[in-house]
Structure 1
Amino acid sequence: MLSKTSPSRGPGSPRVIGAYEPRSGSIQYIVVDEATKQAALIDTVLDFDPKHARTSTKSAQWALDTIKAEGLTLAWILDTHPHADHLMASAWLKEQTGAPTVIGEKVRDIAKLWRRIYNLPGEFETERTFDRLVLDGETLPLGDLEIRVMLSPGHTLGSVTYVVGDAAFVHDTFMQPDVGTTRADFPGGSARDLYRSLQAILALPEDTRVFEGHDYGTKERKEPAWEATVREHRERNKHVGGGVSEETFVRLREQRDAVLDLPDRMLHALQVNLRGGRLPEPEDDGHCYLKIPVNKF
């Protein structure tokens, strides 16, 4: 697994370790308070092979191994939203560590949408699934640092950004500046909401490190990347750099989204992620089964 470290800039600044999962283009993060060696995990990945409907914990085990090797104490397991392109490893990591799982409180509304889509009216009980549902503006302690929650809808109606000192974990809002932004056409998504969330992130101090949730490279840039600064996004982000208007962005985003295929894991992933990364309960043969809606998309 390709991993890179963004070092702390000093007091009040976390060290950030990002690891790239190539099958889904996802990046999972370990955020470290250097003073106390407390750490948080953000958007960890439960590996999934859609061709064989097979899971593994290789990517999540990397996070545990890194925490152990560095002598860190895991304080939180954070997710920014119920992901459509990878399965969450939060439930498995809680089983291994006992650390509490956290997600934005509007996951309740996302669950309502997907109960209808899957026709699973009794599933996705979010209060029982996650240990803490956080509000916009709420804070969580991380050693001597603080994790601040920013509601960032658009990609989903309940996505949140986590700001830790001079680092912002912006999930599926920004991509790298040479790519632009992420899609807003999933159920509950909105290009207009996404634009406003992007502007709120761009209002952070210009030297804030912005850590994105995904990268797929470009024709010119083969090496995956996931860190830029607010300044770099303000100046040269392909979709909003230089002060692009809301109407221009919405038109561009909606035109782009109209020709995108669904992620190949989406219909598998949402029913798992709204269970906090847990598979459905095994049936009488000992196997778990996923429910895939046909002709709904």
Structure 2
Amino acid sequence: MPATLSITAMVPCFNEEECIEQAYLEIKREIYRYEDSEILFVDDGSTDGTLGIIKRIAAEDSRVHYLSLARNFGLESAFTAGFSYASKEWTVQLDADLQSPPAELHKLAQRAVEGDYDAVFATRAGRQDPWHRRLGTYAHQAIATRALGIELPVHASVFRVVRTSVARKVSECRVSTPYFLATLPLIGARYTTMPTAHAPRRAGRAKWSLAGLCRHAVDLFVGFSYRPLALVYFAAAGAAAAAAVLAVAPAGPRLLAVASVLLHALGIGALALISRYMVRIMRGGAGLPRYQIREANVPIRPRDDLYSHRNEIHETTGGRAVSLSLSQTGKLP
């Protein structure tokens, strides 16, 4: 790859104090091969010593920048913030646990530039995760793509090289359920996948629980497809048919009891599914920010800054006070 490539290594992290130092050293070794490069850590509300280590590293290395989110907003929000503040033409997203080896980023970058892609996603060759995680990923993507008709980069991971301007377009889409992998194809971005090495976690433990993975999957299914609502129609038709049969056929008390329980279960399930879609609509209209930043060593837009009053400059014009934010003083677009 040409040394002139302009690229940001963006690293979301949450409670990774055991990994962050080594992650910095390995990412630095690879990303600094490019003359115009930087490392951007996005601390997603860590409660351990992660932020302190990042701040020490940033004080020693002027090419290291960081954002500290006001709380744990979740991975999607963390890398959304990272894409918003990455200053280079391309952004490579890496994990602090080093399961995606930084040395592999050059393959992704080369494929993106030579193939004129907007995004190249890594697929994990020889994935070093427990069997239930691997099985869950395959089932999740199979349901999404085959059953629900959602376009996704198949088997893509969060290890990816993305044109920063395109990543921002995705992040700015006002979707009720933020989901980068499903939103990117909707805006017409050119993407592909390629296999890269995958390694065991170096230290610490995975932050995704089974419940969290299930919520993430449901958010995708409900957020990007209306096909699950067809289940409600089929359930209603099945319940009507069962009621008609029971109305004309002799049935004992046990059969009636079983049928009653099943019909009620179908009704409750349909109500739960419809309620999930209602929650989706409410999320879209709530107007809550995707993230808020508590502190950083780069200029922050007032809308993203939890303490935006710190960045106001008070001037007096014609006898009246005027407050200018960073966006008005030219420090940020």
Whether the TM-score (by the shorter chain) exceeds 0.5 is no
The structure carrying a bigger helix percent of its residues is: 2
* TM-score normalised to structure 2 length: 0.28
* TM-score normalised to structure 1 length: 0.30
Tell which structure's C-alpha radius of gyration is larger.
2
